[in-house]
Amino acid sequence: MSRKNRTRMPSATSLVARSFPDKIIGIENSLPWHLGTDLRHFKERTIEHAVIMGRKTFESIGRPLPRRCNIVLSRRPLEESKFVKWAPNPETAILLADQFSILNLKKEFFIIGGEEIYNIFHNYINLIYLTDVNTGPINGDAKFEMDFDSREWWFRFEREFPRSDVDDYSFRISCIVRRKPFHRFLSKAERFGTDPNIWQAWERYEAMMERTKPDVVVEDEQLDLLKDL
């Protein structure tokens, strides 16, 4: 089937905070810092979207993230609810994220860690909000070691944040974009079978994607978010 008859699927965006210079993201299944401002940024970007995470990260958060579709990867069945979906493999995680995004007219979903999950999806990720936390050397057992070669990625913007009452360390948030984004194209019959809700939402989703340039994955209104932090 030609691309003309297929629709672009939502794009994968990632958020990650890592220590500078050691690239540590976690220790004993928790975050090595408290950064209230960064958490607010995380919340404002991901709210009302699908978020994909590993079982260990889900446990470390301790509850489903509210007003988001929490897709949790685990090889063992997980108790599901309206806001928590179990994905036994990466392909199911993407399928669930696509379904939620189409039904809710979202152009992107989020990969939110931890280390194993970033490694599984790193080839799918078109945009990263990277928080470099100025901790200096610290201990940790989970890392995010991805490098951003300027031939493959460009920095759309960066913003520095000082240490504050709600932030243990100063940090920088960078918005990093893949130069040649990875896009998936599907027809509705290919993947979503006979779910009537998806069929109803499809036309609106398709029209929305036709209006969006393929290389623009970040929602325009979200670009302003950092200004308000």
Ligand X SMILES: NC(=O)c1ccc[n+]([C@@H]2O[C@H](COP(=O)([O-])OP(=O)(O)OC[C@H]3O[C@@H](n4cnc5c(N)ncnc54)[C@H](OP(=O)(O)O)[C@@H]3O)[C@@H](O)[C@H]2O)c1
Q: How far is the CB of 92 from ligand X (least distance, A)?
A: 9
74 burial type by CB count under 10 A (0-12 exposed, 13-18 middle, 19+ buried) = middle
55 binds ligand X (CB under 6 A): yes
Using CB under 6 A, count the residues that bind ligand X. Answer: 28
Decide: 202 and 10 in contact? Cβ < 8 Å: no
| 60: contact with ligand X by CB under 6 A | yes
Binder of ligand X out of 103, 113, 121, 209 (CB under 6 A):
113
- When asked if residue 56 is in the footprint of ligand X (CB under 6 A), the reply is yes
Say how far residue 201 (Cα) sits from the centre of its chain.
22
Residue 168 found at the interface with ligand X (CB under 6 A):
no
CA atoms within 13 A on the CB side of 196: 0
Taking the complex as a whole, the smallest distance from the CB of residue 53 to ligand X amounts, in Å, to: 6
**CA angle at 121 for the pair 38 and 229, rounded to the nearest 5°:** 15
Contact flag: residue 130 with ligand X (CB under 6 A): no
Nearer to ligand X, 102 or 173 (CB): 173
Cβ-in-10-Å burial (0-12, 13-18, 19+) of 4 comes to exposed
- Which of 202, 16, 197, 185 shows the shortest CA–CA distance to 116? 16
Q: Which stretch binds ligand X (CB under 6 A): 28-36, 178-186, 192-200, 202-210?
A: 28-36
68: contact with ligand X by CB under 6 A: no
Interface with ligand X, residue 54, by CB under 6 A: yes
Helical H segments across 104-181, by residue range: 115-121
The encoded tokens of residue 180 equal 């040649």
Per CB under 6 A, 116 contacts ligand X: yes
Using CB under 6 A as the binding rule, whether residue 89 contacts ligand X is answered as yes
Q: What residue ranges bind ligand X (CB under 6 A)? A: 16-17, 25-26, 29-31, 53-57, 60, 73-76, 88-90, 112-117, 120, 142
